[in-house]
Amino acid sequence: MDLTKTYPRSVRDKVHGLVQIGRAIDKGYALAFGNIGEYNFDCPMDKAVFAFLGIDAEKLLERIKQAKSVAEIEAYVSEEFISKKSSAEIEQWNQQWLSRSPEGESLGYFVGLRDKIAPDRTDVTTWADLLDLDEKRAVPKRETAKA
C-alpha cells in the first residue's frame, strides 16, 4: 500500500462487516513500509475504531510490520477483535460512525476543508462524506436542512 500514489480505502469499506478499520489498516501498512504520504496512522478516526475493538495501535503496527500482506492483517484483526463484537454492536457502530459530523474545534477545520474541496457541496456534513469527496469518490447529493 503506497499512499503517496493512491488513497486508502474509504471509511465506508467494510472488513468483516466493520467500517473504518480497513482504512486504518491501509494507513498502518503504508506507515510500516515508509510510504504513508500525507496520511496519519492512529489519527482520531483510527483511535475511535481501535477503542471500539480494544486494539493497541502500536501493537497493531508491529504486527503489520511482520505480516506478509494486508489480507493477513485483516484476518488477524477479524479473528482477534471483530469476532468478539455482536452483529448488533457492529451495525450500531457503523451507523453512528458513518453519520458522525464534526463538533467543537473540528467544525471550523471541516468547513474550511469542504469549502476548499467543493464549496458548492454544503450538503456534505459528515466526515465519511468529506473524506470520500476529498479522495475523489462519488458522494451523492443530499438535501440540505432548511433553516
2-54 pLDDT, tens per residue?
A: 999 999 999 999 999 999 999 999 999 999 999 999 999 999 999 999 999 99
Report the b/e string of 97-134 with b at 16+ CB within 10 A: beebebeeeeeeebeebbeeeeeebeebbbbbbbbbbb
Q: What is the pLDDT of residue 143?
A: 77
Q: What is the pLDDT of residue 142?
A: 82
Q: Are 60 and 28 in contact (CB under 8 A)?
A: yes
Q: What percentage of residues in the chain have a pLDDT greater than 90?
A: 88
Q: What is the pLDDT of residue 147?
A: 45
Torsion, Cα 29 18 13 145, to 10 degrees, reads -130
pLDDT mean across residues, the chain:
93
Residue 55 has pLDDT above 90, yes or no: yes
What angle is formed at CA 76 by the lines to CA 129 and CA 62, rounded to 5 degrees?
Answer: 90
Mean pLDDT of 51-63: 97
Q: What is the pLDDT of residue 103?
A: 87
